[in-house]
Amino acid sequence: MSLVVVGTLGFDTVETPFGRRDDTLGGSASFLGTAASYFTPVQMVGVVGEDFPEEHLDFYRSRNIDTSGVEKLPGKTFRWHGFYDTNLGVAKSLETQLNVLESFDPTLPSEYRSARYAVLGNIAPELQSKVLDQLDSPQLVAADTMNFWIEGSNAALKKTLKRVDILSINDGEARQLSGEYNLVKAAEAIRAMGPKILVIKRGEHGATIFTNETIFMAPAYPILTIKDPTGAGDSFAGGMMGYIARRDEVNDDILRQAVIMGSTLASFAVEDFSLDRFRRLTEDEVRLRFSEFKNLTYFEAHGTKIWDEH
């Protein structure tokens, strides 16, 4: 089943301990859509300026991403400049130019409206709601957000959250949104705001998923060289939702697999700058790493041979 993806499309200038790249392809919708495209056809919604080269749209299309929902407006494309120090944790934003994003008013092509799955990347919660307004009967909606909206658009965000099934945010944002330090309590509070499923992204420590029935902890794949963390969270959400759309069903088993698939895509995203790792990533590599995740956490819960056997 196809997956509607909305978010930013733009140019990133990124500095990490491994180098600097200027004006590379970035934006939440770029990572969301590309990661999801390994599993399912994607319908992309976004806005670019006149300076956005056709080759980037060609790249999306080469990944089976429908770009008819990408508007081109007069003016310049969204730009972001970020810096990571040696710990490669949260980026320091050196500059953000909204440009055409300031006048973005998403209109979905009619073919998009029947989509059963949607993932709302990190943009203004009002825009996220506008996308939802245009979907006939979405089955499962995932959303991302950030501290900027938690602080500045709290009421709008709360409205959007009521319509969201899966929220993925990082641990700091979960604490901020809920006002609870303990993540188990934070999850309870946030799930009461709407999303039945909460994904707390913990960067190099993996992700924890809270649902009504269960808590699931996905490890992060141990990577020798993380070149550029940009897009890891979006690649995670894109991989997760792409997998769910492909299965066209959600239960605890599929959700757990989806989270590991998201972690798999995120682990590749950070191995190179921009979307470069995806440009050469094969299905075989994805399949192999997914199965490697199994061994990272597997242990034999029976056969401890203590107590009962003595």
Decide: 259 and 207 in contact? Cβ < 8 Å. yes
Q: Which window, 7-15, 120-128, 144-152, 297-305, contacts its own copies (CB under 8 A)?
A: 297-305
In the complex, least distance from residue 161 CB atom to its own copies, rounded to whole angstroms: 22
> If binding is defined by CB under 8 A, does position 288 make contact with its own copies?
no
Residue 50 to residue 74: CA distance in whole angstroms:
6
Report in angstroms the alpha-carbon separations of 281 from 14, 40, 293: 21, 16, 17
- 187-191 long-range Cβ contacts below 8 angstroms, 24+ apart: 190/161
Looking at beta carbons only, is 157 or 218 nearer to its own copies?
Answer: 218
Q: Strand pairing of 10-16 and 78-83?
A: parallel
Instruction: Write out the binding residues for its own copies, residues 191-230 only, by CB under 8 A.
Output: 202, 204-206, 208, 214-219, 222-226
Q: Which window, 51-59, 102-110, 117-125, 293-301, contacts its own copies (CB under 8 A)?
A: 293-301
Site string for its own copies, 142-181 (x = CB under 8 A): ---------------------------------------x
Site string for its own copies, 54-73 (x = CB under 8 A): --------------------
Looking at beta carbons only, is 80 or 84 nearer to its own copies?
Answer: 84
Looking at beta carbons only, is 70 or 174 nearer to its own copies?
Answer: 174
Looking at beta carbons only, is 106 or 219 nearer to its own copies?
Answer: 219
In the complex, least distance from residue 42 CB atom to its own copies, rounded to whole angstroms: 15
**Selected binder of its own copies within 183, 237, 265, 266 (CB under 8 A):** 183
Angle at 271 between CA 266 and CA 273, to 5 degrees: 100
Angle at 282 between CA 276 and CA 287, to 5 degrees: 125
- Contacts with its own copies, residue ranges (CB under 8 A): 39, 86-87, 181-185, 202, 204-206, 208, 214-219, 222-226, 243, 246-247, 253, 256-257, 259-261, 283, 287, 290-291, 293-301, 304-307
